[in-house]
Amino acid sequence: RRLGRRGAAGAAAFAFALLAAAFFLLSPSRDASAPSTSSYPSYGHRLPTLVDLTLVAGAKERGAVCLDGTPPGYHWLPGFGEGSDKWLLHLEGGSWCRNLTWCAQRKETNLGSSDHMERRAEFVGILSDDELQNPDFYNWNKVKVRYCDGASFSGNVEEEFQEDGTPFFFRGQRIWEAVMSELLSKGLSRAKEAFLTGCSAGGLSTYIHCDDFRALVPKASTDLRKKFTHCSSDMEPGQCIFPREVAKGIHTPMFILNPAYDVWQVEHVLSPEGSDPEHLWQNCRLDITKCDSKQLETLQGFRKELLDALSEFKKKKDWGMFINSCYIHCQSMNSLTWHSPSAPRINNKTIAESVGDWFFNRREVKEIDCEYPCNPTCHNAVLDQPYNEE
């Protein structure tokens, strides 16, 4: 990490499970001379830039395809000025397809087929090129990598799977490799700094690929242990892919961004409809202000479990975190929650300011909010129907 900014490489993530959202930094150096975000006003946001979809060339020939066999894609907004040789990648989220029925449904959407992806994407939040909205990374090369394999860019099944004559492809690892190969040829290989980010299922992917990403960037350390060395024979195989376990084997500095009361986790893990036949949690799931005292006690226990899981990582000097007490999901890709006059704050710092402070080593960032409902700056989700992540 002390090789100097010219050799810097960076990565970040936002995932689900106990460590639900995280940034990974691959920067050997975080320059304390970088400008402070306190000098930037957070107002006057303009309309977001629309960025065209690019399908990966030759992806089909490499077998790097979406669930339905179409080629994967990404949106690339070139950097400019001092950011022209710096790269920020964001891995799109969208849950998993948990069985063939779900996977078949996803094949008819943007989460399983590039045929259904919108041809232009708004770049907001951490992907914005507006200095007022994204003060530290606005002029970097920014890439949104589309998610269409259904398993966090992690599958690599050689043969196509057939169900009732319908083919399925589980090739997330190949998609990752194909996208990285193409971006390396477009300038990522010459990056002086690089930052890998993601949210939800994309965040989990960032945990999985963080050290691999670091090894791709010039001058970044390649002396990295094989992933999942922390897994043992007495563990359930699925545990090895949970962020709480994956993080134990990561060598790259990491920033964890997570709400203590993640709306997706509360709906799908803590109190899923299937375990609530009498719908006792329905109002609470849709609106945290509707939770009764017993339910709030359960949510505080959920928060404590998250903080307990974070305790070993909080001790790591190079790691950072921002755990607010909001009822929300994926705060980095929202202009209001990333950096705005009404953005959530801890110690009067927005998420964007905290991430920038950590990345550029302006201060140590280990921000842990107090219990709900202590933070009046939170944007708490109020749902009119169950939350389904897109």
- Catalytic member of 329, 339, 340, 379: 329
Please give the sequence-ordered ranges of beta strands (E in DSSP) within the chain, or none if there are none.
23-25, 49-55, 73-77, 86-91, 120-123, 141-145, 161-163, 166-168, 193-198, 254-262, 320-328, 366-368
- Catalytic member of 68, 130, 136, 262: 262
| pLDDT of 348 above 90 | yes
Phi, psi dihedrals of residue 25, rounded to the nearest 5° = -105, 130
| pLDDT of 37 above 70 | no
CA dist., res. 248 & res. 231, Å (int): 9
Tokens of 325: 């007490």
200 is catalytic: yes
User: 22, 12 in Cβ contact below 8 A?
Assistant: yes
212 is catalytic: no
CA dihedral of residues 212, 213, 216, 219 (deg, nearest 10): -100
What does each C-alpha distance from 115 to 66, 72, 181, 278 come to in angstroms?
Answer: 10, 10, 22, 40
* Low-confidence winner among 15-24, 47-56, 202-211, 263-272 (lowest mean pLDDT): 15-24
User: SS3 of 102, please?
Assistant: helix
| pLDDT of 75 above 60 | yes
Listed in sequence order, the DSSP H helices in 186-325 are 201-216, 243-246, 263-265, 282-286, 293-314
How high is the pLDDT of residue 194? 93
262 is catalytic: yes
Tokens of 357: 């402070």
CB atoms within 10 A of CB 187: 15
Tokens of 386: 């169950």
First to last CA, the chain: 35
Which of 247, 134, 142, 123 is CA-nearest to residue 193? 142
CA dist., res. 93 & res. 201, Å (int): 5
- Catalytic member of 114, 181, 200, 205: 200
Place 248 in a pLDDT band, splitting at 50, 70 and 90: confident
What does each C-alpha distance from 284 to 293, 298, 325, 384 come to in angstroms?
Answer: 11, 11, 16, 12
How high is the pLDDT of residue 163? 81
How high is the pLDDT of residue 321? 97
pLDDT average, residue stretch 50-54: 98
User: 91, 202 in Cβ contact below 8 A?
Assistant: yes
How high is the pLDDT of residue 324? 98
Q: Cα 82 vs. chain centroid, distance in angstroms?
A: 25
Place 36 in a pLDDT band, splitting at 50, 70 and 90: very low
How high is the pLDDT of residue 240? 79
pLDDT average, residue stretch 76-95: 97
Q: What is the pLDDT of residues 98-147, one digit of tens each?
A: 899 999 999 999 999 999 999 999 999 999 999 999 999 999 999 999 99
